[in-house]
Each structure stands twice: as structure tokens, then as C-alpha cells.
Structure 1
Amino acid sequence: MLKRLVTFLLLAGSYLTHAQEHKKVMAVQGDGIYSLLRNSGLEPKKYLAPFIELNKENLSSENGLFIGRIYLLPKPEEKVEKADEEVVMPDSVDMQTVKATKVLEKRYYGIFGADYAMVSIESRQLEGAVFYLISGHGGPDPGAVEHYGGQLLAEDEYAYDVTLRLARKLIANGALVYLITRDPNDGIRDARLLEVDHDEETYPSKRIPRNHSLRLKQRVEVVNELYERHAAKPYQRIIETHVDSRSKSENIDVFFYYHELSKDGQRLAQNLQQTFKQKYARYQPNRKYSGTIEPRNSLYIIKYSKAPTVYVEIGNLKNTRDQRRILDWENRDAIAMWITDGVIADFKER
């Protein structure tokens, strides 16, 4: 489960009231979740998950608090299920130091769905950067498929959900983002089993061809046209997200492809890989991260796109351990967050 930060001051700047079911607290400058729960008599590790669940619609894109807002505290009698130790426990924030977030402005993006449409711009760290986000397959091509509990899992649905979450986080940090693969109906979904449909489009509203080569050509033409439109912006990147399909016995970590002649693409891939290494070392110190980066010049998008490109493979759809990473929305969100952190690190190196 994601770990996020907000603080609570018992005296000046914060106040506590008693509602019929849940106590409430106002977030102020310098507040953070662990001290909030601890000062309220709640064990932080035990009540972090229900706190986020209670307040998820009132949190930042990184599950931080907003100064001046009221938040619900979990009831002490609520029980919390023990997290599965095999599930990725990712986060991009230091639980002891990150503070409540100031909202610079708010923007509405219907593509993210009703629950996530309102995006709070929390920083300008990526101002000037342009991203073209492509989720693999879509439309007539679901990509890799697998059955889970009698229901069909399709690569394109899970890649799209991660891509939407990534787009939202990049926007929240000041970037300009184009969703090249788009679905008019599927916003960000917190379900484990995502319904399969075939109505995805290519930006802005182009029908996705059935032919594989035409589909890839369409995407490259759209991205290259946008790239030329933003020629004055030196930092333009493509991130394409996929879910791999391998033997059921093969457990893999998130890994990355780039073009061997693209120094910018290689650097971004390296920054993404390094970010994942750091997160695993922090949150799963007993589990070595083995995700790789390597050139893959033959991939159409990588080969023909004008912008530096990184492919992200988030796991093996057929492997039961990787399925935990893919099916749990918290882990899909965390993958998007870690990619965002890697992108921010890369942007700072430009």
C-alpha cells in the first residue's frame, strides 16, 4: 500500500473535532501523515491504509495533504488487513520529511475519469517539458491476454491505466502531456479486474487501424507532427508502456528499452532504472531489483520517432507474482509515481 505524508500539530495551526463517526483534522504547513496518526493515538503503520482510503478523493496526486483542508481519521476499531509482503511497496516520498502540499492551481481533464478529473498542479518541476505517452496496443489489438479467475486480462487495459496515472502526475508537476493512445470512456480505474473494450483511439480522435504496421505508423506520424509543433522546446520525450507476456514461471521486474544512438533516450532509461533500484532498496531491501535497460532499435516507435523514446515493460501478465504488481491499483499508481520521479531526475540533468 502506498505510504504518504501529512503532519498534525496538536496545538497552534491544527484543530481536532469530533464527528459522529470519524474524527477530523485540518492540515497546516509542515503537517505529515505519520505524526498525524501518532499524535492522534493511532499506530501509523496500521492506520495509514485506511486513512488514505478515507481521504483519497481529497489528497494530492502523490497522496499528500493540502494545507487548510479537513481530513478524516480512521476509527480505532477499524481492522486493517496485513499487506502481502510480495506486493510492491512503492513510494516516492520520505515518510518523515515530506510536508503538506500547496496547490498552485487546478485543472480539469475529463480523460482521467470522474474521480480523477480535477488535477492539482503542485509544482513547476517539469515546466517546459513535453511528453508523448503511448500505452501499448489498443483498439482492435488487446496485446497480451491471460485469464484470471474466469475473467480476461488484456495488456492494453493495464498499460493504459498506468499511462493515465503517469500523465496525471506529470501534469501535476507542470509538464505538457499528450496522451497518444486514448479511451473516451475509461478513466483511471481502481479496480483489480479492468473490463476489456476496443474503443481506444489515437490522438486526437483517430480510429486505430486493425493492421499492426499501419497502427504503429499512425502513432509515429502523430507524435512527429506534435514534435515539430513544439520544436522550440528542447526537452520532448516519448514514454511507451507495455505489459510483457512470457512463461508463467518467469517473474520479471520493470525494465526499459531505448535506441542505441539516442543519448537522451539512454539517459532517461538509466534514470528510470536507477529510480526503481533506489525504491526497491528502500521499500523491499530483501528483494533485489533486477530490471534491465538495453537498446532495442528495431521497435517501430523507437526507430522512427523524432523524440527520444523509452519503452517501459511493467511485468509479465502470466506470472502470478507479477500479476500482483499489475492488478492492484496501488501498485499501478506507484509504478507511475516512480516513473515520474525518474523523469524529474532526468529533466534536472538536461
Structure 2
Amino acid sequence: MIFRVFHRIAFLLFFAIIGLAGYAQDSLTTVKAEKGDGILSLLRKQGMNPYEAYDDFIAMNMDNLRDSVHLYAGRNYFIPPVKLDTVAIVDSIQKKSTEIKKIETKEFSIFGDKHAAVLTKSEKLKGAVYYLVSGHGGPDPGAMANYAGKSLAEDEYAYDITLRLAKELLSHGATVYIIIRDPNDGIRDERILEIDRDEVAYGDKVIPLNQVARLKQRVDIINELHRKNRGKFQRLIVTHVDSRSKGQNIDVFFYHHEKSKNGKKLAENVHKTFQKKYKKYQPNRTYTGTFEDRTNLYLVRKTHPAMTFIEIGNIRNKKDQKRILVPDNRQALAKWISEGVILDYETGEIGRIR
């Protein structure tokens, strides 16, 4: 009996150490993608943390994906095996205990019932403070477009991506202020996001109709919070969706203050992350997104924290619409931005933009 137990332990440790390389493909679980499935939803159906398994899934199924990130309905896909925690296994053996290690989570109602729980992934961003602003909101929907007979509004998609980014940053220990807030939307997994006008600014402030008053309100909130958090690593991230001619397909691009060394560095680090991701997941196309200074934008010019202003794409272009319509794409955008933010923090400096 003792021999069999330790034989099993050795077996588990062996496979935990060798990881994916130790599995023959015919021993892996395969699942058929259904119409409407994305990578994240497919992994959720298997009871997995989709964000942790995402990169492994891509690596295992690269030749069976459209544009390196999208599933084909009706095709079978390999599901990554659950990675075993060798430290947890050894600890359990030593204590002769079957107790399951608790996973630390925190609840944030702003993300909605389905997404309220935030899993603690690391403390990489512990001590960092982030102000997240999604463009427009309240009486101003921002850029508008039509898709399949339905209206699309910039503020709804910028907000959804911002919430997903906030959740990613929180999972790595950051302090996050969501400046534009919707009391009931939360993170949504639909393609067409219903348009409403009930967004408020941080502190439950009513968003003004006048554009200058609206922008000034955001600047005042951010600068006051920046003052209260003086001495900490602080950054601002503003998210918008551009509007251009229908035929103009654009990649995600970034702005920063022309005199901000830290703002330029933040924009550059997120830009570098996007370059890396496109090279990995879409090797057959060139990423053309840019980062540059643009101080004539009100939020860029008036806010105190080092910042980057992100344009996600052209809401009127069919290819760019897919970037924001597909929930998995919105999650990938948030994940990639967060990875650039982590890179920036690990190599960054505390300070104002001036």
C-alpha cells in the first residue's frame, strides 16, 4: 500500500515537472467548438480558469485557429491539462493532509454578478495606483456605428474593456480607481452592448452634458486622487474607440504627454506588448499601431499622473468592429494592456508628468 501511494506521488510530481511536453497529443482532452464559442468561453465550459490556460490553449491549437485567435465552429480543440502545483503536493504529503489549498478571491460588485470575484494571481503591482477612464459616458455615447441593424456606442465598449483591465490589475495587487462607472452594467459577454445613459463619475457625480465641463470633471477627480496618493507609483490609462471612414482599418495605438518621460514609457511598454502579441498570435500580419505624443487632448494636457491614452480601433470599420464585438477579443485587449502595465511598473519610476 505504501509503495503504491509513493508510486502515485512520484507519477504526479513527474508530470507536474515536465508539463505539456510530457503529454502525447492523443492523451489530451479534445472538445468540439460550438457556434458562438470563443477561447475563453470554451475553457470556462471545461471548468478551467480561462485566463490562466489561454496561452497554453493557443500554443496547442495554433494550426487550428482563424487569425491565430478565433475558433472554427465544429472543429475539435485540445484542452490544456491542469498544471499541478508540485510545492502544494509535497507540502500535502509531508503534512499527510488532504486539505485543499484555498484560493484567495475578493468581490467587486462593479464587475457584475458573473465577474465579481477577482482571483489573486500575484502581487506584482502591489503599491501601484491606477486611474482608469473609459471615454464619454452619461449623456455622451461617443462615436456611433451600426452593426447588423443595431447601434454601437463607443462608451459601452470602452467601459467594458476598462472593467476587464481593472480586474486584471486588481488580480496582481494594484489599487484601481474606475473613474467612469455604471451602476448595473458590469462586465458583459454579449456582442451587442445595450446603450444606456446612466454612467456616473467617481463619487457618484452626475456627468455634465457640456463637453468641457465633462472633461474638467474627470481631470479634477483624477488630480485630487493623485494628490491624496502623493508619493506612490501612479499612472492614468484612458480608453477610447476611434471613429474614421468605414474603409479605414487601424490597429490599437497610444498617445502620451510630450513632456512626460514616464507617460511615454508607459505607452511604449504597452505598445511593445502589443507588438509581441501580434507577432505570436497573428504572425502573418504586421502590427501598425503607434505611440506618440499628443498634448492637445484635454485629458493628456491637464491630468497630473503619467498617462497613456489608448485608441482601440475604428468603430465604423468591419474588421475593427470584430475587435470590440467579440467578448474574447475585449478580454484579450485588457489582458495585453495589463501585461504592458506590469512591464512598465517593474521598470518604472514614481513621479508626476512634469
Query: Mind listing any 5+ residue stretches in structure 2 that lack a counterpart?
Result: 1-7, 56-63, 72-78, 86-100, 349-354
8 A Cα contact 2:240 2:312, kept in partner: yes
**Structure-to-structure mapping, 1:69-148, within 5 angstroms:** 83-85=65-67, 105-148=104-147
Distance 2:183 2:325 in 1: 22
Deviations along 1:100-129, whole A, 9 cap, x unmatched? 688762111000001110101110000110
User: Match for residue 43 of structure 2?
Assistant: 52
User: Match for residue 42 of structure 1?
Assistant: 29
Greater gyration radius = 2
CA RMSD of aligned residues (A): 3.2
Deviations along 1:172-225, whole A, 9 cap, x unmatched? 001000000000010000100000000001002110000000000000100111
User: Match for residue 167 of structure 2?
Assistant: 168
Give the superposition deviation at 1:29. 6.3
Give the superposition deviation at 1:59. 1.7
Give the superposition deviation at 1:46. 7.2
Give the superposition deviation at 1:35. 7.2
User: Match for residue 262 of structure 2?
Assistant: 264
Give the superposition deviation at 1:232. 2.3
User: Match for residue 90 of structure 2?
Assistant: none
Change (3 A) 1:33 1:111: farther
8 A Cα contact 1:254 1:313, kept in partner: yes
More helix by share: 2
Distance 1:192 1:131 in 2: 27
- Between the two proteins, the alignment pairs up a number of residues equal to 306
Three-state SS of the structure 1 residue aligned to 2:288 is coil
Three-state SS of the structure 1 residue aligned to 2:29 is coil
Distance 1:103 1:322 in 2: 41
Give the superposition deviation at 1:32. 6.5
Deviations along 1:208-250, whole A, 9 cap, x unmatched? 00000000000010011110111021x1011000000001111
User: Match for residue 330 of structure 1?
Assistant: 328
TM-score between the two structures when normalised by the length of structure 2: 0.78
Change (3 A) 1:46 1:60: closer
Distance 1:98 1:302 in 2: 44
User: Match for residue 3 of structure 2?
Assistant: none
Three-state SS of the structure 1 residue aligned to 2:258 is coil
8 A Cα contact 2:168 2:335, kept in partner: yes
Three-state SS of the structure 2 residue aligned to 1:286 is coil
Give the superposition deviation at 1:39. 6.4
User: Match for residue 88 of structure 2?
Assistant: none
8 A Cα contact 2:253 2:312, kept in partner: yes
8 A Cα contact 1:87 1:324, kept in partner: no
User: Match for residue 77 of structure 1?
Assistant: none
Three-state SS of the structure 2 residue aligned to 1:335 is helix
Change (3 A) 1:172 1:247: same
8 A Cα contact 1:104 1:123, kept in partner: no
Q: Structure 1 counterpart of 2:45, which letter?
A: L
Distance 2:82 2:292 in 1: 34
Give the superposition deviation at 1:85. 2.5
8 A Cα contact 1:86 1:321, kept in partner: no
